[in-house]
């Protein structure tokens, strides 16, 4: 609902780094009750759409992993050569990840690999993409909930120990 | 333009807070027991995420190809307990990492040849960690084990003495594991291999099932035998995964994220930069994950090191989150051993919550009863707790 406002806010208020203590000037925000945790997001007029996948059924907690990030323009065509700046933050804790991921364009047009993602706390995360080189500058945001599903670890039954 | 949405979301937040207050206030009349065991889906998921049943087998250790070799572990175990590996012949790894005390000691700061600068870390579950020492200055377990050997106030020997001791006392098992005679190898290689054997042993130190794990299991099973925990312990668990937010850092089956945080621990004027100086040491050591003696594939392994955020400014004064398993059995607490009881630790977290001492620490408004309940819950993470409550 406040998505556009969030984006506008983001331009002014986004942190430039993500880490253990980068809290100066930030405002603590609680998790919204109706969080949209879609893995595909788009700009308001659909000029740019982004989606991500991982190798895991759920986003892993405390595990360094890779995102496969796809970018499409409003005609559904892959966006190549985008300059992507990614930050991951926990609005409830005023800090982000303890890694600085590397974004590499893959051989598949529109597919980017984000290596070094690591969510070290459970709960509400925001991953923001600041993308230029796709016609103009775009800001896109994924909302994530990490580590709160009841799914058992992969390859293991929950009652095993 | 910016003020309005913030204002309205704040108003919604206030309304929600007011609403939840009403819910809380209306509850006591319903009888405490029924509510106490009524977990939300989110709480249930978080409780299960802490249970030992969720602990996978230890991840591989790409930088140590002997990590899961039982013969290497046997050699490592022998050296772990061998006090000949010290300047005065009286200090072994087991001197400070006492098996009868949760693999740590009962002192504020470790005491080897001299007084160490920090508290002895518990070493159960190290196989699951990415960073080692309170400040994470080692990026692999085998690399960590070498630090105390050459530290003048711990074992106080050097790698040449280690090679001599291995030759004199462990020549045959060494040759068996590493398929070469220690006399033929460079001193640094023997030193690194000694660390790899020690690491193989430490990897076998795994947590035991506790009363909390039995409770988590009961919640999942049909039995729903919730009496495994007392009411105070159950309230403590609810606080742990909820209002008190302990689970933010103490998460997963080992009750730690293995990362570095400001805890607001009083330092009595002894400034300790913690993680802030670790990045230099990570890069300087020849025994690191990407170093000469590592078995890792530098292209494929070590993403947690490759993509590490090395912004010293952010991490000055942070220390590694320790496991809470067994914590109630092994005071004192924190990196400088400054607290002699869990009650003091919990009190301090309440005291610094939301202050500039620990910007990251926000534990809600905890009452005295909350602190008692949290302490009671922490007691259920000790394997001795099985005997205490029957």
> Which residue has tokens 């949290």?
B374
- Phi then psi for B363, rounded to 5 degrees? -115, 20
Q: How many residues comprise chain A?
A: 161
Indicate the SS3 state at residue A7: helix
Residue B3 lies in a domain: no
ipTM of the shown complex: 0.79
Decide: B376 and B201 in contact? Cβ < 8 Å: no
Statement: residue B21 has pLDDT above 50 = no
- Domain span at residue B268 reads 32-55+209-274+317-388
Q: Is B278 on the interface with A (CB under 8 A)?
A: no
pLDDT band (50, 70, 90) for residue A154:
very low
Residue B50 lies in a domain: yes
Query: Chain B window 290-309: which residues touch A at a Cβ cutoff of 8 Å?
Result: 303-304, 306-309
Statement: residue B222 has pLDDT above 80 = no
Residue B304 lies in a domain: no
> Cβ contact (<8 Å) for A147 and B306?
no
Decide: B143 and B136 in contact? Cβ < 8 Å: no
pLDDT of residue A3: 52
Say if residue B258 is in the same domain as residue B235.
yes
> Cβ contact (<8 Å) for A61 and B56?
no
CA B163 to chain centre: 31
CA–CA dist B59, B126 (Å, integer): 11
Annotated binding site of B for heme c: 93, 96-97, 246, 249-250
Q: How far apart are the first and last CA of chain B?
A: 61
Q: Point out the domain boundary residue: B202, B232, B250.
A: B202
Statement: residue A20 has pLDDT above 60 = no
Name the nearest CA neighbour of A154 among A58, A37, A52, A20: A58
> Cβ contact (<8 Å) for A98 and B52?
no
Taking the CA atoms of B285, B257, B354 and A5 in sequence, report the sign of the dihedral they define.
positive
CA–CA dist B147, B169 (Å, integer): 21
Pairing of strands B319-320, B260-261: antiparallel
Instruction: Please compute the mean of the pLDDT values over residues A48-62 and round it to a whole number.
Output: 95
Total tally of structural domains belonging to chain B: 2
Which fold does the domain A3-146 belong to in CATH?
Immunoglobulin-like (2.60.40)
Mutate which: A9, A22, A120, vs B, most B CBs within 10 A: A120
pLDDT of residue A150: 60
Q: Which chain B residues touch A99 with a CB distance below 8 Å? A: 304, 307-309
Say if residue B327 is in the same domain as residue B223.
yes
Q: Of the given ranges (A56-60, B170-174, B370-374), which has the lowest mean pLDDT?
A: A56-60
Say if residue B192 is in the same domain as residue B336.
no
Q: Point out the domain boundary residue: B202, B237, B252.
A: B202
Decide: B64 and B295 in contact? Cβ < 8 Å: yes
Query: Chain B window 116-135: which residues touch A at a Cβ cutoff of 8 Å?
Result: none
DSSP A155: T
CA–CA dist A5, B347 (Å, integer): 40
DSSP string, A58-114: SPPBS--EEEEEEEEETTS-B--S-EEEEEEEETTTTEE-SB--EEEE-SSTTEEEE
Q: Is B248 on the interface with A (CB under 8 A)?
A: yes
Residue B18 lies in a domain: no
pLDDT band (50, 70, 90) for residue B352:
confident
> Cβ contact (<8 Å) for A20 and B306?
no
- Residue A42: exposed, middle, or buried by beta-carbon count in 10 A (0-12, 13-18, 19+)? middle
- Calculate the alpha carbon distances from A117 to A36, A63, B166, B321 in Å: 20, 8, 41, 20
Say if residue B221 is in the same domain as residue B362.
yes
pLDDT band (50, 70, 90) for residue B361:
low
pLDDT of residue B353: 82
Q: Is B5 on the interface with A (CB under 8 A)?
A: yes
Q: Of the given ranges (A154-158, B36-40, B61-65, B84-88), which has the lowest mean pLDDT?
A: A154-158
Say if residue B43 is in the same domain as residue B163.
no
Q: Is B375 on the interface with A (CB under 8 A)?
A: no
Residue B143 lies in a domain: yes
pLDDT of residue B383: 83
Say if residue B196 is in the same domain as residue B213.
no
Q: Which of A128-142, B33-47, B321-335 has the highest mean pLDDT?
A: B321-335
Say if residue B267 is in the same domain as residue B360.
yes
CA–CA dist B215, B47 (Å, integer): 9
DSSP string, A99-139: B--EEEE-SSTTEEEEEEE-B-S-EEEEEEEEEESSSS-EE
Mutate which: A4, A20, A115, vs B, most B CBs within 10 A: A20
Domain coordinates of chain A in residue numbers? Answer: 3-146
pLDDT of residue A142: 97
Say if residue B351 is in the same domain as residue B380.
yes
List, in order, residues 6 or more apart from B208 with CB less than 8 Å away.
B383
Q: Which chain A residues touch B12 with a CB distance below 8 Å? A: 33
Say if residue B141 is in the same domain as residue B101.
yes
Q: Which chain B residues touch A98 with a CB distance below 8 Å? A: 259-260, 308-309
Say if residue B145 is in the same domain as residue B188.
yes
Say if residue B228 is in the same domain as residue B175.
no
The kind and range of the H/E element at A11 are helix A3-13
Q: Which chain B residues touch A5 with a CB distance below 8 Å? A: 5
CA–CA dist B177, B77 (Å, integer): 13
Write the CATH number for B141.
1.10.760.10
Q: pLDDT tens digits for B278-326?
A: 999 999 999 999 999 999 999 889 999 999 999 998 899 999 999 999 9
Residue B21 lies in a domain: no
Say if residue B224 is in the same domain as residue B367.
yes
């Amino acid at each position: 609902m406040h998505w556009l406002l969030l984006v506008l806010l983001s331009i002014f208020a986004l942190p430039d780094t993500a880490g253990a203590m980068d809290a100066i000037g930030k405002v603590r925000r609680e998790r919204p009750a109706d969080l949209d945790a879609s893995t595909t997001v788009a700009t308001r007029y659909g000029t740019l759409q982004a989606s991500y996948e991982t190798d895991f059924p759920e986003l892993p907690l405390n595990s360094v992993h890779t995102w496969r990030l796809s970018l499409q323009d409003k005609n559904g065509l892959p966006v190549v050569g985008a300059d992507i700046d990614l930050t991951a933050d926990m609005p409830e804790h005023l800090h982000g990840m303890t890694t600085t991921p590397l974004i590499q364009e893959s051989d598949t047009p529109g597919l980017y690999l984000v290596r070094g993602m690591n969510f070290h706390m459970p709960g509400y995360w925001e991953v923001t993409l600041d993308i230029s080189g796709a016609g103009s500058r775009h800001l896109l945001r994924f909302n994530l909930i990490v580590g709160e599903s009841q799914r058992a670890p992969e390859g293991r039954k929950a009652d095993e120990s | 333009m910016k003020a309005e949405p913030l204002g309205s979301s704040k108003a919604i937040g206030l309304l929600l807070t007011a609403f939840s207050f009403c819910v809380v206030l209306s509850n006591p009349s319903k009888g405490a027991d029924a509510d106490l065991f009524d977990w939300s889906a989110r709480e249930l998921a978080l409780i299960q995420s802490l249970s030992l049943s969720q602990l996978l087998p230890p991840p591989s250790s790409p930088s140590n190809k002997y990590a899961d070799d039982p013969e290497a572990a046997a050699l490592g175990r022998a050296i772990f307990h061998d006090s000949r590996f010290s300047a005065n012949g009286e200090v072994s790894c087991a001197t400070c990492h006492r098996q009868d005390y949760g693999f740590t000691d009962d002192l504020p700061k470790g005491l080897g040849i001299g007084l160490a600068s920090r508290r002895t870390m518990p070493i159960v579950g190290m196989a699951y960690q990415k960073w080692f020492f309170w400040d994470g200055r080692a990026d692999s377990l085998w690399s960590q084990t070498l630090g105390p050997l050459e530290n003048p106030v711990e074992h106080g020997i050097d790698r040449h003495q280690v090679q001599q001791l291995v030759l004199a006392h462990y020549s045959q098992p060494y040759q068996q594991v590493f398929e070469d005679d220690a006399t033929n190898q460079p001193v640094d290689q023997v030193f690194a291999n000694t660390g790899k054997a020690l690491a193989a042993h430490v990897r076998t130190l795994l947590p035991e099932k506790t009363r909390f794990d039995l409770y988590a299991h009961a919640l999942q099973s049909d039995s729903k035998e919730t009496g495994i925990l007392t009411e105070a312990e159950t309230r403590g668990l609810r606080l742990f995964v909820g209002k008190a937010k302990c689970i933010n850092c103490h998460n997963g089956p080992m009750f730690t994220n293995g990362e570095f945080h400001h805890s607001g621990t009083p330092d009595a004027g002894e400034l300790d930069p913690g993680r802030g100086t670790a990045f230099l040491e990570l890069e300087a050591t020849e025994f690191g994950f990407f170093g000469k003696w590592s078995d890792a594939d530098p292209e494929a392994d070590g993403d947690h090191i490759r993509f590490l955020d090395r912004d010293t400014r952010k991490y000055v004064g942070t220390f590694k989150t320790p496991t809470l398993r067994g914590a109630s059995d092994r005071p004192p607490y924190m990196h400088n051993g400054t607290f002699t009881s869990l009650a003091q630790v919990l009190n301090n977290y309440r005291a610094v919550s939301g202050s500039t001492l620990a910007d990251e620490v926000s534990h809600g408004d905890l009452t005295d009863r909350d602190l008692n309940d949290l302490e009671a819950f922490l007691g259920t993470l000790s394997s001795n707790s099985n005997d205490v409550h029957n």
